[in-house]
A and B are shown apart, each in its own frame.
Chain A
Amino acid sequence: MKPPESTIGPMPISLSAEGPVMSRPPVGAAATHCPYCALQCGMYVVDGEVTPRTDIPANAGGLCQKGWTAAELLDSPERLTSPLLRGSPVSWDEALDFVAARIRAIQAKHGPDGVAVFGGGGLTNEKAYQLGKFARVALRTSQIDYNGRFCMSSAAAAANRAFGMDRGLPFPITDIGAADAVMLAGANVAETMPPFVRHLTAMRANGGRLIVVDPRLTRTAKLADLHLRVTPGTDLALALGLLHIAIADGYGDEGYLAERTSGFDEVRTSVSAWWPERAERVTGVPVAQMREAVRILGRASRAMILTGRGAEQHAKGTDTVTAFINLALTLGLPGRQGSGYGCVTGQGNGQGGREHGQKADQLPGYRKIGDPAARAHVAAVWGVSPADLPGPGRSAYELLDALGTPRGPKALLLFGSNPVISAPDATRVAERLASLDLLVVSDFVLSETAAMADVVFPTTQWAEEEGTMTNLEGRVLLRRQAVPPPSGVRSDLSILYGIADRLGCGEKFPTDPRAVFEELRRASEGGTADYSGITYERIAAETGVFWPCPAVEPGEEPHPGTPRPFLDRFATPGGRARLVPVEHRPAAEEIDGDYPFYLTTGRVLAHYQSGAQTRRIRPLTQASPEVFVELHPDLAERLEITPGDRVRVLSRRGAAEGVARVNGTIRPDTVFMPFHWDGANRLTNPALDPVSRMPEFKVCAVNLERVA
C-alpha cells in the first residue's frame, strides 16, 4: 500500500475550464448560493437577476434551469407576506400569541412530547441548529425529526458504521474529475444536479470510465460507459455479486485490508453465497456486465463508488450502502487520495442539516443524544442541565404516523418541509396532519401542507437572509443576503424567538444568524462535525471550509479544514474502517398477480423536492408541466396505452394519475413517476429501514390502467 498521506492533503483544485458564461461579479452583488440541491452552486443575485459564480468548485460557473430562474420566486405574487390564522391574515403578535397559548395548553394536557417539531434539509445550519435547540430547550420535547430522514439517512447510517463519520463526499468534488473510474449507484445527477456532470465529463475527458447502476436508462446512464440496469429493490444483491467477483478475480487489496480495515474475513465468507450467476438471477444484470464493472473499478488506480437515493431509499438501504462500502473497502478505495466512497447528498443543506440537532437522536456537532458526555457539553452551551434534555424521539415517518394518535403528539411545528407531497403513503400522512389539535407551518408560499395549517408564518427565503450551508462535499459555504425581504415576513430564527419568548425563554434564541453560528461553533466543538474553527470571514475568504475544522488556541495557526478526512485514519475508535457482513432480502412489497409492476419514483430536472418552489416558477412548469407515468413500449402495448393517455396507477395504499410517457429506456416490469407533484407518494410504501428508518420510496408494487 501507499504510505499514509497527510490528513489535510493538498488543497482541492478548481475545475480548470473557465465558466461557460464569462461573468464578473456584478457591481454591488452579494455572493450567495442556489436555493436548491446539495451542490449549492455559487451565484450572485442583483435586481432579480442570477449570475453564476466561477469561484465555487462545485459549479464553476455552471447553473441548471432551476438555478437560473431561482430569483423568480423572490417577488412572486404567491409569496406569503402575512401570518395566517385558519386561512385569514392576522398580525404577527396575534399569530405568535395564539401558537404559544396553544402549545402551553397542549403540553399542560399531554406533557412536553404533546408538541412535535419537523424540520428540513433545506434549512441553513443556523436554523437547523436553532430548531433542535428550540425543541429541546423551549419545548423540552423529544419529538423532533426532519425530512432529511427521507434523503440520505441510509447512507449516513452506513458511513457511520463503516468509517465512524458521515461526511457525504469525504473528498472535494474536484477529485472526481481526476478519477479513472466512478460508479454511480442510484444517482441521476444529470437531472438532479446537472453541474455535477461537469466533473464526470472532466473525468471521462481524461480517459476515466463511468458506471451507472439504475433501473432506467436515465440521462446520467446515457453518459455511462457501462449501465447496469438493475431490477428495482435488488441493488444489495448486485453489490454482493460485485464483491464476490472482486474477491474471486483477485482485485482485493490485501495490504490495505490488513492495515486499514477490520471484518474482511467475515464479509468474504458472507459473499461466498453470492456467486455472480445467483446475483444475475436476482438482479437481472448479466454476469458479463458485472464482471466488466468490477474490472473497470479494480484496474483503476483512482476509483470512486458513489451512492444516491436509488440505492438508499429502501427498507434495506443501510445494508445496501454497506455492501457498496464493503466493495469500496475491498478494492482499497476509501481514505486514499483520489479514491473513495461517497454519498451524493440531495437537499441543499442535506449535509449540515444532519449534523446539528434537528434529527431525533442527535445533538449539534453530529453528537448522539444518548451520549452523556455529548449531553453535558451541549447542555453547558445552552445553559441548561443535562438532565433536562429529552432523549431520542421518533424518526420522521414514525413521527408523522403518530400525529394525533392517542399516544402521539397533538401539535406539530413544521419548518422547511412539505410532507403531504414528500412523505411516503401521503394520504395517511395528510390524515394524521388533519387530526392534529394544532399545525403550524413556516413557509414562504402556501404549500400543500401549509394549506392545512392552523397557523402559517410567512418566512424569508434564501437570498433574503444570511446563513451557512454545508454542501455535499462537507464544505461549509456562506449565503449572503442579496435582497431585502418583502415587508411582513420574518426569518425562521425570528419566528423561533417569538414563540420561545412567549414561552419564557426568548433570551436563549438570538435572531441574528451570525450570533447563532457563533453558538453553533461552541456547541459543535469536539464533536464529529466540529465547526469551531470556522468563521463567516474564513468561509468568504476561502470560498468554503471543510469540516472538521476545530478551533485552535489564540496565536496558533488556524486549522485549515479537512478536505479528505480519512487519509491517515478512519474516525472509528481504532482508526480502522469496518466491513460489516450484510444479506440481501426482497423488497418489502414484491410484485404479485394483483400488483404486477414495480413503481420507482424520482426527480426531473425542472423541479426540486415537493415542488413547492419550482411549481411556482413559470419557465420550470413550462419545461415540465405535470406528473407523468413512464412505461416501456412492451407494457404499453399490452395495456393498450399510447403516449399521452391518462394512466391510473394503483398500489395497496392509494391511486394516482399521470400522463403516459412510453419509453424504451425503462425496464418492462417497472414504471416511473416523479414525486414533485401530488400523486406518486400516495402509492409509495412506508416500510422502514431498521437502522436508518428510511422509508422504501424506491420500490413498491403497483398495477396500472388507462383512464377511460
Chain B
Amino acid sequence: MRLVVVGNGMAGARLVSEVRARGKDVRITVFGAETRQPYNRVLLSNVLAGTSSPEQVRLLDPRWYADHNVTARLGVTVTTVDRDARTVVASDGTREPYDVLVLATGSEPVVPAIPGAERATAFRTLDDCDRIRDAARSARSAVVVGGGLLGVEAARGLAGLGIPVTLLHQARHLMERQLDAEAGLVLRETLAALRVEVRTGVTVSAVHEKGVELAMAPSSVVASSTAPSSAAVPSATASSASASSATLPFITETVDADLVVLACGVRPVVGLARDAGLEVDRGVVVDDEMRTDDPAIFAIGECAQHDGMVYGLVAPAWEQAAVVADLVTGADKGARYRGSRLVTRLKAASVELAAMGETHLTEDEAEIVRFSHRHKGTYRKLVIRDGRLVGAILLGETPAVGTLTQLYDRGGPLPGDRAGLLFPGPLFPGSTTGAVADSPVRMPDSAKVCQCNNVTKGEIRACWESGGRDVAAVAAATRATTGCGDCRDAVEGIVGWLCEQEVVSA
C-alpha cells in the first residue's frame, strides 16, 4: 500500500511514526514544506525564550527516515491532488501516486490586512523563532500583537530575554476564549510583574518602522470575539464587523517598538483540498474515521474539521493520527475519533495557567466554585454540571492542576467537598519527619509510636515504669526505634516527658 502524507508538522510527522510503529509494509512518502526535520511546535515559545535549543524540540532524528524506510520530501510542497489518477503533484513537478492520502497541512498565521504588516514577524515556525531571536538581540522594545495563548507565551518569552514588551489585544481581556474576565485580569497583573505591559481593547491599524499605530475603539464598540478577529487587529477576513468598525471615531496612538510579533490567530490551510474538490468548511470536513468525502483521502490536525470543530492543539491532532494509523494499517479497523476534551496549558516561565472545557458558563447554567486572590496571582474556578467537572481555570501554582485535569478528562463524579478540590494542600508540603506530631501529653496510650516494631505509647510507659529511663533501655525492652529508626525523637520525647512528670509529682 502506498501512503502519501502532505504536511510534516506535529500531525503529519506523528502519523508517519504511528503508521511505522504498527508495521513495515506500508510504503510511505511524506511532503514537508519546511526543510527542517519535524519539530515540536508546542515548545516554540521555549525556543523563543531561549530555554530550549532547536535540537531539543526535534521530533525525529535526521536518520529516522532512512532507518525506517520512509521517503521524506522536505522543502517540497504539494501543489495539486489529482483524485482521478490518485496522484499528487509536487512543486518540483514530480508526481507521487497514492492509495491513501492524508492531508496534514496544518494552519497558517493570520496576517492582518493593515499597512506595514510585512514589517512584523509571525510566530509559527522555527524559522520565525530564529528571526524573532535575531531581531531581539538589538531590539530595545517589542510589541506582540494578539493576546491569545501564543501571544502571551511570546510576550513572556521576549520579556525573559530582557526586552520591555507591550502585549496588545483587541478583546477586553486576555485569552478570552479560555478565560473569564477575572482570570484575564489576574493574568494581566501576573504578566505586568514580569515586565509585560498588557493593553486590551485596542486595535492595531498599522505597523511602522519604529512601532505600531493603535486605533483604540471606545469600549462600547469592541467587537465580540471570534478566533482571528479577537487579536488586536481588524479582522483580516472581509467581515462586516471590520467594515462597520472602520467607520467609528478611533483615537490613534503609536506604541514604540523595533520588533513586532504577530500572534493574531491561525487559519487552516485548505487550498489544496478545496482545489481538489473536497468538502471544505472552516477546515477540511472529515467523519469519525477522519476521512474526507473522498474515501481515499484523510485529513488530520489543524486543517481538519471534525463535528464542527477545528482543533488548534496538539493532543487532538495526535489522537486523530493514531486513529488514521489504526485504520490505514488495519491494526484496528474499528478505530474512531470522537472529539477531544481541550486542556490549554500555558507554557511560560513563572506563569502557571491551565484552562479546560466550558469556562464561560454562568451560575444559571452550572455550579460555579471560584476563588480569587489577585494579590497573589491566584485564580481558581470550577464549572460543574451534574456533579461532574465540565470546565476549570487554574491560575497560579497549585497541586490541584493534576487532579482536576484528570477529573475533567475522565468526566468522573466529583467529591461532595468542592473546597477540597480547590485547596488540596500546598505544592511542596515538605517532609513530615518525626513519627509523632502530637505532644506526648495528648497522645493516648494506644497510639502506635514505633511502626516497625508495633510499640505503643502505653508499652513505652510500662517500660519506663519498670525502670527503663532512656531510649536505649526502652529500645532493649520494647525494640522501639530498632527498625527504621524514625521514631527515635518520639520515644525520646515520651521518656523525657515521663521523667519530667516524675519530678513534678515528687
Contact = CB atoms under 8 A, between A and B. Distances in A.
Assign chain B's interface to a size class.
Answer: 35 or more
Interface in B374-423: 397-399, 401-403, 405-406, 409-410, 412-413, 415-417, 420
A637 B483 contact: no
A503 interface: no
Given A21-B482, A248-B51, A669-B406, A268 B56 contact: yes
Residue picked from B55, B427, B453, B476, most chain A C-beta under 10 Å: B453
A286 B399 contact: yes
Contacts of B420: 634
B249 interface: no
Contacts of A190: 451-452, 484, 486
B415 to A, nearest CB: 3
A265 B53 CA distance: 13
Residue picked from A226, A278, A286, A634, most chain B C-beta under 10 Å: A286
B462 interface: no
Nearest to A23: B476
A22 B476 CA distance: 8
Nearest to B421: A634
B125 interface: no
Given A22-B472, A265-B61, A268-B55, A286 B482 contact: no
Contact of A273 (B40, B352, B472): B40
Interface string A262-273: 000110110011
A668 interface: yes
Contacts of A285: 402
B454 interface: yes
Contacts, number: 164
A201 B485 CA distance: 8
Interface in A330-362: none
Interface in A223-239: 223-227, 229, 231
A25 interface: no
Interface string A20-31: 111000000000
B484 A634 contact: no
Interface string B50-77: 0110011111110010000000000000
B451 A219 contact: yes
A595 interface: no
Nearest to B344: A277
Contact of B483 (A65, A229, A287, A638): A65
A634 B417 contact: yes
Assign chain A's interface to a size class.
Answer: 35 or more
Given A63-B483, A248-B51, A281 B475 contact: no
A11 interface: no
A602 to B, nearest CB: 15
B43 interface: yes
Contacts of B410: 591, 669
A292 B428 contact: yes
B427 A224 contact: no
Contacts of B42: 275, 278
Contacts of A284: 402-403, 405-406
A63 B343 CA distance: 49
B485 A63 contact: no
A289 B454 contact: no
Nearest to A228: B402
A52 interface: yes
Given A64-B452, A65-B453, A272-B56, A280 B405 contact: yes
Given A62-B485, A64-B453, A272-B57, A634 B415 contact: yes
B377 to A, nearest CB: 14
Contacts of A269: 58-61, 64
A226 B40 contact: no
Given A20-B482, A201-B486, A638-B415, A272 B43 contact: yes
Interface in A182-214: 189-190, 194-198, 201, 204, 210
B56 A606 contact: no
Interface in A635-649: 637-638
A283 interface: yes
Interface string B336-359: 000000010101000010000000
19 contacts: A20-B485, A62-B484, A65-B479, A65-B483, A198-B485, A201-B484, A248-B56, A269-B58, A269-B59, A280-B401, A281-B315, A281-B405, A284-B405, A285-B402, A286-B401, A287-B352, A288-B352, A605-B483, A637-B416
Interface of A: 20-22, 52, 61-65, 68, 189-190, 194-198, 201, 204, 210, 219, 222-227, 229, 231, 247-249, 265-266, 268-269, 272-273, 275, 277-278, 280-281, 283-289, 292, 591, 596, 605-606, 619, 622-623, 634, 637-638, 668-669
Given A65-B479, A288-B352, 13 more contacts: A21-B475, A22-B476, A195-B483, A201-B485, A248-B52, A272-B39, A280-B345, A284-B403, A289-B399, A596-B412, A606-B454, A668-B403, A669-B410
